[in-house]
Amino acid sequence: MAVTFTKRARNMITAGLVLILPIWASWVLVAFLFRLLRDASLWAIEALLLSSVGRSLLEHWGFTAQTWHERGLEALPWPLRWSLAGAAVVLTVMLLYLLGAVATNILGRRLIGLAERLVDRLPLIKTVYRASKQVLEMMTGESARPFTRVVLVPFPGPQTRSIGFVTRPVHDPRTGQRLLAVLVATTPNPTTGFLLLVADDQVVDLDWTVEEAFKTIMSGGVLMPPLSKNNHDHT
């Protein structure tokens, strides 16, 4: 009886975790994006509230500029707090839209080109800016395919295999050998990982989608799809 109860309790707890963890992960992501968009324009809301017009609003709400300096949004009751936070998010979205409109017209592209030429004169900043821009363009472009294949690679040792994402083929300039740039993401946080250059004949193709591979990595293998017989060495 005790064993049956323990097994049932474990099954119920597991089922509860399966239900709540995706909701929690989604909430964490949405909250992070909301705070990011809010904080990007919160300075404009603060400047408005500390202006002559804004100070009268604060006094009408029963607060002072000193209170705002000490506690920020936390000084306000939650309806006002969420209203101002929402206004900051909307303002950020509008600014992003305007920047996108500027970046896509002829004059805007010329101005951006001028600014980039100035950035190119700053050694460290130039490297970070160019690399960040190329990665973002690759990830968000309409024809972007950052991960072309899901493969197994011999990592971290020759007798083990890790799940990797092929990002592009390259060639060894000395031997002409075809290599693959493979990103091996870490578990359970796939935003970090290792970049490997692996010989083409050392990888094993998987007939998994990128989504299936990410699910496998994030779940530690619990949600791993079957290894089909169609998987093969790329030789």
Range of the domain at 182: 149-233
Task: Specify if 156 maps to a domain.
Answer: yes
Confidence band of 235 (pLDDT split at 50, 70, 90): very low
Task: Specify if 141 maps to a domain.
Answer: no
Task: Specify if 183 maps to a domain.
Answer: yes
pTM here is 0.54
Match 């009268």 to its residue by tokens: 56
The rounded distance, in Å, linking the Cα atoms of 164 and 171 is 19
Cβ–Cβ < 8 Å for 68, 57: no
Cis ω for the linkage preceding 156 (within 30 of 0): yes
Task: Specify if 220 maps to a domain.
Answer: yes
How do residues 2-41 score in pLDDT, each as one tens digit?
Answer: 667 777 778 888 888 878 888 888 888 888 889 899 888 8
Q: What is the pLDDT of residue 138?
A: 58
Cβ–Cβ < 8 Å for 150, 208: yes
Confidence band of 137 (pLDDT split at 50, 70, 90): low
Task: Specify if 195 maps to a domain.
Answer: yes
How do residues 75-111 score in pLDDT, each as one tens digit?
Answer: 677 777 788 888 899 999 999 888 888 777 887 778 8
Task: Specify if 97 maps to a domain.
Answer: no
Task: Specify if 129 maps to a domain.
Answer: no
∠ Cα 166 151 143 (to 5°): 35
Q: Which of 82, 104, 131 is the last residue of a domain?
A: 82
Q: Average pLDDT of 226-231?
A: 65
Q: What is the pLDDT of residue 134?
A: 65
Which phi-psi region, left, alpha or beta, contains residue 62 (left: φ > 0; alpha: ψ -120 to 50)?
A: left
Q: What is the number of domains present in the chain?
A: 2
Q: Which of 82, 109, 131 is the last residue of a domain?
A: 82
